[in-house]
Amino acid sequence: MEDAHSIILSMEKHPESGFFGIFDGHSGSCCSKFVSDILPKNLDQITQWNDNDIARIVMETDQEFLDADAYKNKDDGSAGIFTIASLEESTGKYHLLNANIGDSRTVLAQKQADGNYIAITCTIDHKPTNDEERRRIEDAGGTVQLSRVDGQLALSRAFGDRMLKTLHLPPEKRKVTSNPEIIPEVATKDDFLFLACDGIYEGDVFHRDDVIKFIADQLKHTDDLASICAAVLDECLKRGSRDNMTAMIVQFVDGTSYVREPEYIPGVYYSSETDAKFQEAYAKDAQAAGYTLEQALQKRTQIEEEEKKKNSALHNPS
pLDDT score at 314: 65
Higher pLDDT, 264 or 148: 148
pLDDT score at 67: 95
The one-letter code for the residue type at 72 is: K
| Tens digits of residue pLDDT in 4-30 | 999 999 999 999 999 999 999 999 999
pLDDT category at 125 given cuts 50, 70, 90 is: very high
Q: Within 10 Å of residue 189's Cβ, how many Cβ atoms?
A: 13
CA-nearest of 256, 188, 199, 257 to 232 is: 199
The yes-or-no verdict on residue 273 having pLDDT over 70 is yes
The answer to whether 138 and 56 are in contact (CB under 8 A) is no
pLDDT score at 29: 92
Residue 304 φ then ψ, to 5°: -65, -40
| Tens digits of residue pLDDT in 128-171 | 999 999 999 999 999 999 999 999 999 999 999 999 999 999 99
Q: Where are the domains of the chain?
A: 3-258, 273-315
Question: Across the chain, what does the average pLDDT equal?
Answer: 93
pTM for the complete prediction? 0.87
The one-letter code for the residue type at 5 is: H
Residues sharing a CB contact under 8 Å with residue 81, sequence separation 6 or more, in sequence order: 21, 22, 98, 99, 100, 101, 102, 104, 105, 106, 123, 195
**SS3 per-residue string spanning the chain:** CCEEEEEECCCCCCCCEEEEEEEEEECCCHHHHHHHHHHHHHHCCCCCCCHHHHHHHHHHHHHHHHHCHHHCCCCCEEEEEEEEEEEECCCCEEEEEEEEECCCEEEEEEECCCCCEEEEECCCCCCCCCHHHHHHHHHCCCCEECCEECCCECCCECEECHHHCCCCCCHHHCCCECCCEEEEEEECCCCEEEEECHHHCHHHCCCHHHHHHHHHHHHCCCCCHHHHHHHHHHHHHHCCCCCCCCEEEEECCCCHHHCCCCCCCCCCCCCCHHHHHHHHHHHHHHHHCCCCHHHHHHHHHHHHHHHHHHHHHHHCCC
| Tens digits of residue pLDDT in 48-75 | 999 999 999 999 999 999 999 999 888 8
Residues sharing a CB contact under 8 Å with residue 166, sequence separation 6 or more, in sequence order: 140, 141, 142, 173, 174, 175
CATH topology of domain 3-258: Phosphatase 2c; domain 1 (3.60.40)
Q: How far apart are CA 72 and CA 162, in angstroms?
A: 9
Higher pLDDT, 257 or 276: 276
Q: What is the mean pLDDT of residues 280-295?
A: 93
